[in-house]
Structure 1
Amino acid sequence: MFRDRSLVAEGSRLRRTAPLLVPVVWGAAAVAWRLWCPLAREPGLPMRVATSAVFLTVGIGIVLGVRYGLARELSRVRAVADATQQVLLRPPPARLDGLSVAAGQLSASRGAVVGGDLYEAVATPYGVRIVIGDVRGHGLAALGAVVALLGSFREAVHDEAELAGVLRRLDRALGRHLCERAREEHPARSGRAPEHPVAEEFVTLLLLQIRPDGLVEVLDCGHPAPYRIGDRRVVPVPVGEPLPPLGAFPLPADLEPYPAVRLLPGETLVLHTDGAEEARDHRGRFFPLPTVLAGAAREAPAALVRRVHAALLRHTGGRPADDVALLVVRNDRVRVPAQPAEPGLRRTRPAPSPH
């Protein structure tokens, strides 16, 4: 097994150095031309022009070889990042128990496709359960907390009958992650001060449950409230008294989900992280999220996510200052009206007994 690993590592090193092989050969040929070729030592303009052409060719070859190698490495890194996003922030199913769902994220880190925001939607026997959260900071440093929370959520939603039980599982998972981070970042072990201290890390989070009758129950840990779109009206959803962010303070002993709203057929729920409403343009004006949502009220969830992302990029000049995550849910369940009983199936009153 160790031999196989060494062979794989050797092959990887050869692939990385292969693009530089041709420039190195050209460089060796140019040096040999200059040092040992008698024609290169002859005076005169033609020989100087020939020597300059040789070295110019070598220089161009080296630049092109390095550029080709970097382009291949960047392509491999992007492929790994795309695969990571598909596993970590996988796109939710387009349909969940009669609900249309879409989600997307804009990362503030240049070249990154994942960041410090998280979201997930899962259909369970207790209803469709949704989480959206924002880890303090953004970019690759926050991925550890995102992994811990999403892994715990995907298991807990099926195991816990109560929404409060799911939240406690998430809190414990984040606590374990922070303890492991603290051990790894201790100066006695790492030899340096941590770049992102664990003591400063917390997660704002919104946990929802949409029951079959459309009732939305919410547990809000310091996260922005979602919006409800219905009849071209965009209104914030009440979430009750907010809980502290996860990781900042212990959860209270009594956790009771807040019955926020009943999502009627045709209505849409838009969950977002604070990067959406706090995004500013070059004049310092905040992004008008409710106005954009009102203009896209009739859009399908996937189209609405694209519309908001495009508007955000225009507003910020293509450079959002913080990660932005959106998750859109539309109730496509059909309300079936009560049907009158058919005449042939009406219960007839029994005839009176002659006795």
Structure 2
Amino acid sequence: MLIVAAVDVSAGSGAGFLPLVALGPAFAGLIGGWPRTAVVGALALALCTALGLYDEAFHGRRGYTALASVAGVTAAGWVAAVMRQRREAEFASMRSIAEVAQRVLLRPVPRRAGHLHTALSYTSAVAEARIGGDLYEVVATPAGVRVIVGDVQGKGLAAVETAAVVLGAFREAAYEETELTGVGARVERAADRVLRGEKFVTALIAEISPERGAMFLNYGHPPPMAVRVDGAVEFPEPDQYALPLGLGIHMSEGPRPFHVAFGPGDQLLLYTDGVTEARNHERTFYPLGERAHLLRDPDPEAALSALHHDLTEYAEGPPQDDAAMLLLRYRQEGTGSEDRAVAR
């Protein structure tokens, strides 16, 4: 409005810039609240009146037409600001409810579970969303720490609904079933009830104990990355992959459990294909095995944060797919800097 006033004064009364004062309340209605719009509108009317008197525009209809324009734009901006603020309040309420539902579905993993330190990194491909089609859970049971990491085909609300069913079945079965194969069978039955057509869920279910190491059931999911205490990196795979959840219950046997050695100083990284399928500008896949050295930090969360930062830089932007990473470390109570880092 000050710019319009300066141009009007310098150009003279014949230039016809007076109605442009209405730009003030117009922009205020777009970006401000209704009180601000009303104040700016009042200032615009005062400025328009002063300029009209200066230009002697009230001798004819031009000055009154400019005042009417400013008043009309102010009224329209005020109504728009009121409606926008109501919509924003409704959106904020819906978002808070959605965030509560998201926290119930994908709860934060415990930083300590049995003999393990855990850390999680999760990025949704959907803007402004905290969850998507990837799923994870860590529970400590008498049989050991049981873990699931999975990836639902597709995105959006349908994928979230499927993830809720799979997670609900796993959380119940993890405590009730004595064998890991029983856990997998119950999760598979639950997935088969809700998945139709060609929908499926890839999943990796694990049971980790100090005595037996790590046992895995792989339902068509990327293999875990094992980082040994000496820095060696392995991607243990089953002898034969099973079909993903929702595809194999009526066509083949379930996956056979396979053992992975897991002792003091070792780390396991469970992830979804959003990590390994991230590409750089040359369309080259992310070399996860070559980045295992980023997990050396004594603090598991700091180590996983470094890996996540490297993945983001490699992909040069937000992920095109949901990306979840779950880091599991063998915990030795009372020794090492790792316990002190977790304590902090």
TM-score normalised by the shorter chain: which range applies?
A: 0.7 to 0.9
1:275 partnered with 2:237: no
- What residue is the counterpart of 1:142 in the other structure? 159
Residues 329-354 of structure 1 show CA distances to partners (whole Å, capped at 9, x for unaligned) of 10013599xxxxxxxxxxxxxxxxxx
Query: Residue 47 of structure 1: SS of its match in structure 2?
Result: helix
SS at match of 2:242: coil
Q: Deviations over 1:255-281 (max 9, x none)?
A: 54111x221112111000011000112
Deviation at 1:81, TM superposition (A): 2.6
Alpha carbons 1:114, 1:140 under 8 Å: kept = no
Who is 1:199 aligned against?
197
Query: For residue 306 of structure 2, what is the aligned residue in structure 1?
Result: 307
CA distance in 1, matches of 2:73, 2:334: 75
Aligned length: 283
Contact 2:242–2:248 (CA under 8 A) maintained in structure 1 = no
Query: TM-score normalized by structure 2?
Result: 0.75
**1:96-115 → structure 2 map (5 Å cutoff):** 96-115=113-132
Deviations 1:189-233 (A, max 9, x none): xxxxxxxxx302001111111122251111111100011122333
Give the 3-state SS of the residue equivalent to 1:200 in structure 2. coil
2:172 corresponds to: 155
Hey, what does 2:107 align to over in structure 1? Answer: 90
52 and 335 in structure 1: CA distance in 2 versus 1, 3 angstrom threshold: closer
Q: Does 1:266 align with 2:283?
A: no
2:248, 2:254 within 8 Å by CA — same for their partners in 1? no
Secondary structure, aligned partner of 1:55: helix
Please tell me whether residue 234 in structure 1 is matched to residue 220 in structure 2. Answer: no
Which residue identity is paired with 1:311? D
Correspondence list, 1:277-292, <5 A: 277-292=276-291
Distance 2:333 2:37 in 1: 67
Contact kept, 8 Å, 2:203 with 2:218, in 1: the verdict is yes
2:210 paired residue number: 212
The alignment yields a C-alpha RMSD, in angstroms, of 2.8
The one-letter code sitting in structure 2 at the alignment partner of 1:52 is: S
Q: What's the CA shift for 1:300?
A: 2.5
Segments ≥4 residues shifted beyond 3 Å = 19-24, 251-256
Asked whether the equivalents of residues 34 and 81 of structure 2 are also in contact (C-alpha less than 8 Å), the reply is no
Shift, 1:95, TM fit: 0.5
What is the correspondence of 1:43-54 to structure 2 with a 5 Å cutoff? 43-54=60-71
Distance 1:78 1:317 in 2: 28
Q: Distance in 2 between matches of 1:293 and 1:317?
A: 20
**TM-score (structure 1 length as normaliser):** 0.73
The answer to whether 1:293 aligns with 2:310 is no
Cα deviations across residues 48-99 of structure 1 (Å, max 9, x unaligned)?
A: 2211211221233234334323332332233223212211010111101121
Q: CA deviation at 1:21?
A: 12
CA offsets 1:116-154 (integer angstroms, 9 cap, x no match): 111101111111111111111122221121111111111
* Pair 1:55 & 2:68 matched: no
Identity %: 36
1:296 partner SS: helix
Contact 1:274 1:324 in 2 (8 A): yes
2:294–2:306 contact (8 Å) kept in structure 1: no
**Most deviating of 82-91 and 244-253:** 244-253
Deviation at 1:299, TM superposition (A): 4.6
